[in-house]
Amino acid sequence: MQTLPVTVTVNGDEHTAEVEPRLLLVHFIRENLGLTGTHIGCDTTSCGACAILYDGKPIKSCTMFAVQANGHDLQTVEGLANGPTLHPIQDGFFQEHGLQCGFCTPGMMMVASALLEQNPAPTDLEIREAISGNLCRCTGYVNIVRSIQHAASAMRAEESVAAD
C-alpha cells in the first residue's frame, strides 16, 4: 500500500502526516488532525457541509484528496474564533439565529468568510449566490442571509474604527 507524506498549514499551524493517496481531505482534517468542525453531509459534492478555505478560496473538502493539498494553506471553522471571542461571522449567526440544527453552519461560515473578504458589502442576492453550493436542510436560509449581513456590517464598522 502506497503512503505519501502530506504537509499542510491549517489555521496557521503546520501539520505533517503519512497518508494513503485515497484519503479524502475532509477525512484527513477530521480524523488525522482531529478538527471535527468540518462536517461530512452528503458525500456527493452536493451539500457544502465540508467547505473549507483552500488557499483562501472555498472548496468542498470531500472532493479533494489529502495528497493534493500538500504544501497548501487551509482554513477551517476552528480558525475563526480568537480564543473565547467569537468571529463577527460566528456572532452574526448567534445574533440572527442563523442556525437551527447547526450541521451546515461551519460550511456556511467558511463560505461567508471568503465572500466578505472579497466583497465587504454584499447584496442579499450576492450572499445567496455565494452560498448556493451549501444546503441547509432546516431550510433556514433567510436567517443565514441575515446573519451574514449582520457580520458584514459589524466587520465594516470594525474596519472604519481601525482606519480612524
Partner 1 sequence: MIPGQFSYHAPATLPQAIALLGEHGYDAKILSGGQSLIPLMRFRLAQPAHLVDINRIDGLAYVREEDGALRIGALAREADLDAEPLVHERYPLLADAIAVIADPLVRNLATVCGNVAHADPANDHPAVMLAYRAEVVAEGPSGRRVIPIDDFFVDTFVTALEPNEVLVELRIPAPKPGSGGAYQKLERKVGDYAIAGVAAQIVVGADGLISEAGVALTNVGPMPIRASEAEESLTGRHPNEKTFADAARLASDAADPVTDLRGPADYKRAVTRTLTARALQRAAERALS
Residue with cell 488525522: 32
Residue 142 or 157 having the CB closest to partner 1: 142
Which of 29, 41, 65, 104 is the binder for partner 1 (CB under 8 A)? 65
Give 124 or 158: the residue with its C-beta nearer to partner 1: 124
Binding-residue total with partner 1 (CB under 8 A) = 31
Q: Is 6 in the site for partner 1 (CB under 8 A)?
A: no
User: What whole-number distance in Å separates Cα of residue 30 and Cα of residue 35?
Assistant: 5
- Selection from 138, 132, 130, 129 nearest residue 47 by Cα: 132
Q: Which stretch binds partner 1 (CB under 8 A): 29-37, 50-58, 85-93, 139-147?
A: 50-58
How big is the chain, counted in residues?
164
Cell of 155: 466587520
Distance in Å, CB of 70 to partner 1, minimum? 8
- CB-nearer residue toward partner 1: 67 or 152: 67
Is the CB of residue 153 less than 8 Å from the CB of residue 95?
Answer: no
Residue 68 binds to partner 1 (criterion: CB under 8 A): yes
Three-state DSSP class for residue 149: helix
Amino acid at residue number 159: E
Question: Which among 3, 5, 22, 23 is positioned nearest to 14, based on CA atoms?
Answer: 5
Examine residue 48 and tell whether it contacts partner 1 (CB under 8 A).
yes
Interface ranges with partner 1 (CB under 8 A): 1-2, 4, 20-22, 24, 27, 43-46, 48, 51, 54, 57-60, 62-65, 67-68, 111, 129-130, 132-134
